[in-house]
Amino acid sequence: MKIAIAQLNFHIGNFEGNLSKMLQAVETAKTQGADLVCFSELATVGYPPRDFLEFEDFIELAEHSVQELAKAAKGIAIVVGSPTKNPVIEGKDLYNSAYFLADGRVQQMQHKTLLPTYDIFDEYRYFEPANEWRVVEYQGKRIALTVCEDIWNIGNENPLYTVCPLDELVPQKPDFILNLSASPFSYKQANTRIHTVKANVQRYGIPMFYVNHCGAQTELIFDGGSLVVSPDGKVFDELPYFEECIRTYELEAVVKGGRENEQPKEKMTLIHDALLLGIRDYFRKLGFKRAILGLSGGIDSAVVAVLAARALGPDNVRVVLMPSQFSSDHSIHDARKLAENLGTQYDIIPIEGIYQSYIEALKPHFWSQPFNIAEENLQARARGNLLMALSNKFGNILLNTSNKSEVAVGYGTLYGDMCGGLSVIGDLYKTEVFALARYMNKDGELIPENIITKPPSAELRPNQKDSDSLPEYEALDEILYEYIEGRFSPQDIIERGYDEKLVRRVLRLVNINEFKRHQMAPVLRVSEKAFGMGRRMPIVGKYLA
């Protein structure tokens, strides 16, 4: 038997586009001699469909897609993920299902058993778990169908669940396992995923074909990296990251095994490529083409500008330099040099006059109060207004350039530098932004060296440096990581050797600035715990305040 993996980029709710893409893949698999082609989890609708699943019409369109695929299942079997109506009154209205199509019709379905409800996942909101498991018989082979999380409770050791679907299927003596996944990217996930697939294969002694989504859906990025693992526990093949691919495998060769074929997984390479895909798909799937951003001469906007130019093409990126009376000459020079290096359109709009007009208008109401954060924020909001005006006038989408460190502690201005339709580096700590800039310059100085080496500054008052208001980023980022990704308490972090006063100051800043994060743009997720849909905190909580 020859088995094809179709690693494709689906679009949520684009039934016609998703179906067309799969029908083309079926034809490609046939030309490769495949007897069976497998698509990923909820491929008909795209993942995650979220509350679209509550619309009856949405489910009917998904069912229509399955029926159209069934018609194409002649001379080849098709396995595809799609929602299924629950025919009984009890429980949720839907199942998350893997369909097995052959001979022009639906032959069998296997519903997903383990429904993740943590971080970005909310599947138990919509789906009923499976309560029966049957292998599929086809061309003399027995196939164990599983859906994504179903392989993440190996030997019933995951405390989140009480059943292990493969423990129910393996006694039926399957010849191989098919897993249909929508596994979102983080820079650690690829290695974790391989470990999990290998652990299943080693436990059950049969090969696994693991099919993953590829593509971005707003903040979520799916990296592909689909896998074929032989019974000897070695990776027979690993599909490319961040791109579509269809490959066919001879089952007998996979069973024989004996080869290891993993790709390198360097952190900055993965993050760089993930962010490019995230930007590209956000624009493409929403029907936009051009981006705009403010270019300050600092590291954050420089990195975003490079990513945007690489993702969309330099002709589709416009950068705006908006110097004030506090901007240094080298920042203006550095920003201009970067724009010239990238080949992007750039404009210079000084804001001193705009700022002074605000100050004059507010002067009678500020009652001769000394210069403070109010005047700093006026500058940020003046820049935000200019960028949004250009965005509205020309239909360019504003990219936000805030990093995770600043967003975490509230070092940003609502309706100012926190404006934007998409937060590109909001899941990168400041130290990671510097590392990404170095990675971008590995083949030559694209980002001017001075941008990378000078002390970070918002340049909103004379001689300002970030370190005036914040701890050094090396220390700050370590504490933030322990709290946000590690979910350690203040005392836990202190006991790890961090200064108690600093820890309590930093964590208080994180928690009292939750209101800002609730109003920011979607953040492209590259870590295991990003701000946004995967981190749900109360705004008015007292904890550590």
Is 112 designated active site? yes
Measure CA of the first residue to CA of the last residue in the chain; give whole Å: 61
Q: Is 69 helix (H, G, I), strand (E, B) or coil?
A: helix
Catalytically annotated residue among 21, 38, 41, 128 = 41
Please tell me what DSSP assigns to residue 114: -
Q: How far apart are CA 28 and CA 419, in angstroms?
A: 44
Q: Contact, 480 vs 506, CB < 8 A?
A: yes
Q: How far apart are CA 533 and CA 523, in angstroms?
A: 9
Q: Contact, 219 vs 237, CB < 8 A?
A: no
* E-only strand ranges, 73-128: 77-85, 94-102, 105-111
Q: Contact, 295 vs 322, CB < 8 A?
A: no
Helix (H) / strand (E) element for 517: namely helix 514-517
Q: How far apart are CA 321 and CA 211, in angstroms?
A: 45
For residue 471, whether the previous peptide bond is cis, meaning omega lies within 30 degrees of 0, is no
Q: How far is CA 50 from CA 54, 124, 160, 423, 530, in A?
A: 8, 11, 21, 21, 18
- Residue 534 half-sphere exposure toward CB, CA atoms < 13 A: 23
Q: Contact, 211 vs 204, CB < 8 A?
A: no
* E-only strand ranges, 322-375: 345-348
Is 148 designated active site? yes
Closest-CA residue to 411 (of 458, 450, 451): 458
Q: How far apart are CA 61 and CA 13, in angstroms?
A: 9
Catalytically annotated residue among 21, 38, 112, 238 = 112
Helix (H) / strand (E) element for 222: namely strand 220-223
Q: Is 146 helix (H, G, I), strand (E, B) or coil?
A: strand
**Start-end of H helices in 162-262:** 165-169, 189-204, 251-256
C-alpha torsion angle, residues 384, 396, 430, 494 (rounded to 10) = 70
Catalytically annotated residue among 38, 123, 128, 148 = 148
Active site residues: 41, 112, 148
